[in-house]
Amino acid sequence: MYKVLVTDGISHTGLKSLLDHPHFIVDRQPTLNTEELKNIIGTYDALIVRSQTKVTEELLQAADRLHVIARAGVGVDNIDVNAATRKGIIVINAPGANTIAATEHTLAMMLALARKIPQAHQKTAAGEWDRNSFKGVELYKKTLGVVGMGKIGTEVAKRAKSFGMNILGFDPYLTEERAKKLGITKAGLDLIAAESDFITVHTPLTNDTRGIINDEFLAKTKKSVRIVNCARGGIINEKALVRAIQLGHVAGAALDVFEKEPAADPELLQNPNIIVTPHLGASTVEAQEKVAQEVSKEIIDIFETQSIQHAVNMPQMSGETQAKLQPYLLLGDQIGQLVIQLLKRQAPGKINIHYYGDLIDEDTELLTRTLLRGILSYHLSDSVNLINVLHLLKEQGVSYNVQKNATNKGFANYMELSVSQGTETARIGATVLNGYGARIVKINEYRIDIKPEKYLLYIKHQDVPGIIGKVGSLLGDYQINIGTMQVGRAEVGGEAIMVLTLDKGLGAEMLRELTHIDGLEEAQLLELTNMDALEPGHEELQKVESI
């Protein structure tokens, strides 16, 4: 018998498969405080939570029997996933169950915004019959810009078409062919800003999408544009939005999510042109039943058949495989992140992975998934993991190829990753040197030797005297400290690259100033996330024994 603890308000109907299963005992205790939960967690095999329960490292220290934590929803911000991974606990979620709920809430917010329904209701309920203050606009023949054409963005676009709207869609993975099938127009952000009457955002929150709707973007929009966010707080710069509404440039906004929740900013909550709801996108009876059904089914599958579909943390591996591949896992994730940035942040159309030397004798499936996750995570953030990465590649229409070659390429173990889109290709080669650790030893056709760091400045330039000094001097003027610098060139006096590790990042203004140096062709800041996620020393990452 397996014991399952449910600590938050989870749909009883959704839990039915677990409640009726002869091998599971389900305890529903939604009112436990932190100390009470800590005292009993050690007797359970699985834990199901929503957003209320905080699954901390301290709690997990007492969870000696726990094998699975299930989040009945999408986000896992309330779960210390790294601590769970170190303890060998699988963390799962229900990523697709709220698609329809979030889609419909977006349309509801758009309609409410267009017709000023909440404001009219409030005044009418107060006893004032005012038909003149709430003149709205129609959706018919208006242009809707959809920023993020994932599952929810796609469903919003389909439904908006039934209102007779013209749809502009932006997504790094949206192809012309897919846009044509959906009956929408593939567009860049500038076109969406210039042409849209309504704009709705449906992207993950990443470094690239944080504040993507900002002062600069809003300045390019049509006067009286209306903006909806039922995706993630932080995608819209709230201060910039308020300023644009106060200036009369933006007609209004409808927000279900906020930079800080619970929302408390009076400029948002008390603005008559902003409609707000308390993160209700997934709050339907049906969605809550679906998320409970999904996690219940997966818990049963994990314990009965060891099948995992929606894990958000790293799958387990044998101790022997771990010892051999551990140093390459973090490196693989890092070069995946870097190579997609070198492709000028385009979505890849094709991915090639090459393994050389002793790596060809290992089971490299986990390493391959890590490389692929690093690539996709740049655009898809934490929605991509080692379990779903192959599915997401197929869903996005991206092909990948893996080749193994016994040639050592000058190193005992060497891996090379290339991504391409059209005629553009970016390539990184890397290895782990005994006694020295991870090294990037090739970028495109140039040989270098550099340790991956959080901030890397990649510069393409002409191999002429003085450029290195000018770059160093300019960085010094901005108080940017250089850790290391490597230069690679194909021939004397020809094109060359330099890669510098920096102690902190630098902004767009400084990058533009660097490109003003004579002979310097390109400057790009490459940034790595999750630098310690797979650090050597996490020996706790052992294979979960057959449960």
- Name the catalytic one among 261, 320, 395, 535: 261
Q: Is 28 assigned a catalytic role?
A: no
Backbone angles phi, psi at 485, to 5 degrees: -145, 135
| Those residues with Cβ within 8 angstroms of residue 29's Cβ, 6 or more apart along the chain or in another chain | 5, 6, 7
Q: Is the peptide bond before 262 cis (omega within 30 degrees of 0)?
A: yes
146 near 107, Cβ under 8 Å? no
- Name the catalytic one among 21, 105, 279, 461: 279
What 3 state SS string does 65-98 have?
A: CCCEEEECCCCCCCECHHHHHHCCCEEECCCCCC
Distance of CA 396 to the CA centre of its chain: 15
Q: Is 521 assigned a catalytic role?
A: no
Euclidean distance between CA atoms 188 and 345, whole angstroms: 13
Q: What residues does 236 pair with on adjacent strands? A: 213
Q: Is 261 assigned a catalytic role?
A: yes
Strands of the sheet containing 185-186, edge to edge, are: 185-186, 166-170, 143-147, 198-201, 225-229, 250-255, 274-276
Each residue of 175-202: b (16+ CB within 10 Å) or e? eeebbeebebbbbebebbbebbbbbbbb
Euclidean distance between CA atoms 165 and 158, whole angstroms: 10
In Å, what is the CA distance from 328 to each residue of 139, 334, 403, 521?
52, 10, 17, 32
Please identify every residue annotated as catalytic: 232, 261, 279
